[in-house]
Amino acid sequence: MKTYLITGASGGIGSGIAKKLASEGCRLILCGNKNSSALTETVQSLGEDAVVKTFLGDLSDEAFVNRMVQESLAEFGRIDGLVHAAGIASLGLMTDLSLTDWNAIFGANLTSAFLLSKALAPHFINRKEGRIILLSSVWGGRGASCEVAYSATKGGIDSFTKALAKELAPSGIAVNALAPGMVDTPMNGMLSEEEKAQIIEEIPACRMTDPEEVADMVSLLLQAPSYLTGQVIGFNGGWY
């Protein structure tokens, strides 16, 4: 039975991934930030037979990340992979973005990826196997106007993925990023219906994707051979 750590489990994409992996019989370690009720809803949606351990905390806090990993290893004995789906965004002009908000976005999106990978790497190296999947975005490679900080963190995720994959590949560990396009989640609630429609017009598939489809892709990546590593995999309906 595989055991996976999923961050952002109280959000749309993370919750979808949790449901998919639970349906495959995996044991889950679910992490949310502040929304305990949303995390509880995710757990309840998994069914009575699901084996789940939950945490609430700040993923830019090294002490919290280390405690979560160590407590999970103590309970389950192993962690087979990380799916880092946590993230935040802010819509607005760069000139209106405060340093506090900039640091918060980098902490939640990029520093967290470093801390989680650092905490899990010794366990994966010791076992000579492991999977790290980091959720990026189409904006990591293209950049989005009025989402400068978010785009920068996702570009950082892309480079981090490629670099870390080179370090961990000799130990049989695969590191990949999944870069969705427009996903139908509450995070995109900051966009008006008109703005969403304008974006959808640019997508050859003529629609947004959803958390269930993203979860299907994550499941495929977790099961892929370890030779597939260091890749930023676009999942955007032919958008870019």
| Cα–Cα distance measured from residue 136 to residue 87, given in angstroms and rounded to the nearest whole number | 9
CATH for 118: 3.40.50.720
Question: Residue 35 class from Cβ within 10 Å (0-12 exposed, 13-18 middle, 19+ buried)?
Answer: middle
Residue 239 placed within a domain: no
pLDDT band at residue 111 under the 50/70/90 scheme: very high
Q: Write the secondary structure of the chain as one string of H (helix), E (strand) and C (coil).
A: CCEEEEECCCCHHHHHHHHHHHHCCCEEEEEECCCHHHHHHHHHHCCCCCCEEEEECCCCCHHHHHHHHHHHHHHHCCCCEEEECCCCCCCCCHHHCCHHHHHHHHHHHHHHHHHHHHHHHHHHHHHCCEEEEEECCHHHHHCCCCCHHHHHHHHHHHHHHHHHHHHHHHHCEEEEEEEECCECCHHHHHCCHHHHHHHHHHCCCCCCECHHHHHHHHHHHHHCCCCCCCCEEEECCCCC
39-85: per-residue pLDDT in tens? 999 999 999 899 999 999 999 999 999 999 999 999 999 999 999 99
Residue 45 placed within a domain: yes
Residue 221 placed within a domain: yes
* Count of other CB atoms within 10 angstroms of residue 31: 27
If one counts the domains in the chain, the total is 1
123-143: per-residue pLDDT in tens? 999 999 999 999 999 989 888
Residue 240 placed within a domain: no
pLDDT of residue 143: 87
| Cα–Cα distance measured from residue 128 to residue 115, given in angstroms and rounded to the nearest whole number | 20
Structural domain boundaries, residue 94: 3-234
Residue 150 appears among annotated catalytic residues: yes
Given the residues 4, 150, 227, 240, the one annotated as active site: 150
pLDDT of residue 134: 99
What is the residue type of 13? I
Min mean pLDDT across 56-70, 73-87, 177-191, 199-213 is at 177-191
Is the per-residue pLDDT at 175 higher than 80? Answer: yes
The reported pTM is 0.94
Burial 160-182 (b: 16+ CB within 10 A, else e): bbbebbeebeeeebbbbbbbbbb
pLDDT of residue 162: 99
> What does the CA dihedral 27, 106, 172, 218 come to, rounded to 10 degrees?
50
